[in-house]
Amino acid sequence: MTALDPRTIRRDFPLFEREVHGKPIVYLDSASSAQKPRAVFEAMDDVYRRYYANVHRGVYEIAAESTNAFEAARAKVARFVNANRTEEIVFVRNATEAINLVAYTWARKNLVAGDAIVLSHMEHHANVVPWLMLAEERGVELRWIPMTPDFRLDLTNLDELLAGARLLAVTAMSNVLGTINDIRPLADAAHAHDALILVDACQFAPHVATDVQAWDADFVAFSAHKMCGPTGIGGLWARYELLNEMPPFLGGGEMIRDVRLDSFTTNDVPWKFEAGTPAFVEAIGWGAAIDYLTDLGMPAVRDHEMQLTRYALDALRARFPESLKIYGPNDVSIRGGAVSFLFDGIHAHDISQVLDEDAVCARAGHHCAKPLMRQLGVPATTRASFYIYNDEADVDALVEALAKAEKFFGL
């Protein structure tokens, strides 16, 4: 395994060529969305300039080329998450849509009033609201896995929670705390209770080698834009048999086999779920992002993240031993590179404003996880998150900018 060299990697990302407020950008918001390497632009540019034509439609040469490139991207995604077959990858807009697809098709077909879904307190709104909507509509019961004081899932009563449940929907990595949840035991527990498991891998997949088969998962959702791919494209992986049994989601072109005035039959999996012209240029761009990450090596990506997160946690604690509180595990082997924190007496929004002066891009707010923020008892946190192009100098810049904020607010 070759260790990552963030300085070299940064040269592949055109955005880092510019400055903000006369300073080089310190981008610490990859948990929200990652920057893109040149290879992604070039792949997309190449489609538009050389072989742009709608996919699965024409018999002419460039239509065949675009279709092949689109389906090759699907195969790349399938390999990236170790799917059993390429057809198990459904292209969607993002992880949010992937989860909604499951809620609108599998869940609405199979769940009735009184059935239960188990979620956790550390879910992103994307894995909360679709189920709240279903609960309102169907009278489905939602049960919640609580959190331990050290920011992990409290599995003490997992068997009770799963008794009679039909689905366990849980994140593989918290976008606020960084916590990595061990999915395999959760899948085993769910299956022991005849429940299925949906994994929100939106934060996890960009940072850690993802193996849906080793997880023994049933549904897995992820987005391209957090793993250096374009916006507007994401994936739902599901077991082939499940996809086959699920009713279609949106109706329209591509998802049909035949249409009559009074009926239709659906296309094969996965196209059954891909109504309308798909974001195939974006899918091809995503394929290029996956190639880029695969070339770096996901073990090296993960290793770099653990090292940098260790450095950041230590640097923050050393510099602000009293005034700064970190929300998330201290053990980097069970956490990702999203570091949420709060300063005594300084609101997260004000912190981010001061950081912006030094072109340090960090996120302030509830991070689309309000139930979690309520559990933590805080209105908002500042979050710095790291990826392949960040290095220790970025952490140092963050620490210096925070020291400036502390001094400025005189607290």
Partner 1 sequence: MAGLEDLYREIILDHYRSPRNRGELEVPPAHKVEGFNPLCGDEVVLYIDVDPETETVRDIKIAGQGCSISQASTSMMSSAVKGKSLAEVHQLTRAFKALMSIHESKLEGEGDGSDLEAELEGVRLGDLEALQGVVKFPVRIKCATLAWNTLQQGLDEAEHAPSP
Would you name the residues annotated as active-site residues? 368
Asked whether 28 and 381 are in contact (CB, 8 A), the reply is no
Q: Which is nearer to partner 1, 20 or 64 (CB)?
A: 20
Closest CA to 338 of 313, 369, 365: 313
Stretches 47-55, 220-228, 309-317, 362-370: which one binds partner 1 (CB under 8 A)? Answer: 362-370
# chain residues binding partner 1, by CB under 8 A: 19
User: Nearest approach, Cβ of 411 to partner 1 (angstroms)?
Assistant: 8
18 scored as a contact of partner 1 (CB under 8 A): no
Identified binder of partner 1 from the candidate list 365, 371, 396, 400, rule CB under 8 A:
365
Judged by beta carbon, residue 365 or residue 371, the one nearer partner 1 is 365
| Chosen residue from 173, 312, 313, 348 binding partner 1 by CB under 8 A | 348
The footprint of partner 1 on residues 141-200 (CB under 8 A) is: none
Q: Show Cβ contacts of residue 3 under 8 Å, excluding neighbours closer than 6 positions.
A: 300, 303, 304
Instruction: Determine phi and psi for 196, rounding to 5 degrees.
Output: -95, 165
- Among the listed residues 22, 149, 321, 377, the single contact to partner 1 using CB under 8 A: 22
* Cross-strand bridge partners of residue 343: 324, 346
CB 220 within 8 A of CB 81: yes
350 binds partner 1 (CB under 8 A): yes
Which residues share a beta bridge with 27? 361
Nearer to partner 1, 134 or 373 (CB): 373
Q: Do residues 205 and 227 make contact, with C-beta atoms less than 8 angstroms apart?
A: yes
Q: Which stretch binds partner 1 (CB under 8 A): 28-36, 165-173, 210-218, 353-361?
A: 353-361
Measured CA to CA, the distance from residue 397 to residue 26 in angstroms comes to 8
Nearest residue (CB) to partner 1, 85 versus 349: 349
- Residues whose CB falls within 8 Å of the CB of residue 330, separated by 6 or more in sequence, listed in order: 150, 313
- List interacting residues with partner 1 (CB under 8 A): 21-22, 346-350, 353-354, 357, 364-366, 373, 379-380, 408-410
